[in-house]
Structure 1
Amino acid sequence: MIVTTADTVAGHTISDSLGIARGNTIRTRHVGTDIIAGLRNLVGGEVGEYTKLMAEAREQAYDRMVADARQMGADAVVGMRFTTSMVTQGAAEILAYGTAVRLEK
C-alpha cells in the first residue's frame, strides 16, 4: 500500500477515487507517566513518556487507516494527514485520514 501526503503518486495515474480512508484511536495518560512527567517539568526537557505514547497512537491510527483503504480495494492513500483533538481532560484522539485510490502505471 502506497501512502503519501502528496495528491499524486509519481509514475502512476489515479484511475478511481474510492472515498476517505480513516483510522483513529483515543489514548489516555497513565498516572505513573503523569508523575514522571511532573518531575521532568521541574527540570525541563522532553517528556519521553508522552512522546512514546503519541507515536504509538499515530502508528495505530495509521495502521487502521491503511486497513480501511484495503477494505475499500485501494492501492494507495493520497493526501494523507494526521489530526489530534482533545476528547476530555487527559484523553486525546489521533485521526489518520486520506483519499483511498486505485492506481494505473
Structure 2
Amino acid sequence: MLVVTTENIPGYKVKEVKGTAFGLIVRARGIGGDIMAGLRSVVGGEIKEYTVMLEDARMQALDRLIENANAMGANAVVMFRFDSGTMGNMGEVVAYGTAVVVEKE
C-alpha cells in the first residue's frame, strides 16, 4: 500500500477515489508509567514513557488506516495526515487520508 502526504504520486495516475480512510487509537499509560512521567516532569526534559506510547500509537493508527483503505478496495492513500489529542490521561491518535486506486503511468 502506497501511503503519501502529497496529493499525487509521481509516476502514478489516480484512477478512482474511494473516499476518506482513517485509523484511530486511544491509548493510556499504566500507573507506573504515569508515576515515572510525573517525576520526570519535575526536573524537565523528554518524558520517554509518553514518547514511546505516542510512537506506538501512531504506528497502530497507520496500520489501521491501511486496513481501512484495503477494505475500501484502495491500493494507495494520498494526503495522509496524523492528528492527536488528549482526553484526561489518555492520548488519541488518528491517521487519515484519501483512499484511492492508482496505476503506473
| Residue equivalent to 2:44 | 44
Which sections of structure 1, spanning at least 5 residues, go unmatched? none
Provide Cα deviations, 1:13-37, integer angstroms capped at 9, x if missing partner: 1010000111101111221111111
User: Which residue identity is paired with 1:73?
Assistant: G
Which sections of structure 2, spanning at least 5 residues, go unmatched? none
Deviation at residue 38 of structure 1 after TM alignment: 1.6
| Residue equivalent to 1:81 | 81
User: Which residue identity is paired with 1:42?
Assistant: V
Q: TM-score, normalised by structure 2?
A: 0.94
- 2-side partners of 1:82 and 1:71: how far apart? 20
What's the Cα RMSD here? 0.9
- 2-side partners of 1:68 and 1:101: how far apart? 12
| Residue equivalent to 1:93 | 92
- 1-side partners of 2:102 and 2:5: how far apart? 16
Provide Cα deviations, 1:49-85, integer angstroms capped at 9, x if missing partner: 1000000011101000000101111110000001112
Deviation at residue 42 of structure 1 after TM alignment: 2.4
- 2-side partners of 1:51 and 1:85: how far apart? 14
Deviation at residue 39 of structure 1 after TM alignment: 1.5
3-state DSSP class of the match of 1:49?
A: helix
Q: TM-score, normalised by structure 1?
A: 0.94
User: Which residue identity is paired with 1:23?
Assistant: G
- 2-side partners of 1:95 and 1:41: how far apart? 26
Q: Percent same amino acid among aligned pairs? A: 45
3-state DSSP class of the match of 1:18?
A: strand
- 1:26 correspondence with 2:29: no
Q: Structure 1 runs of 4+ off > 4 angstroms?
A: none
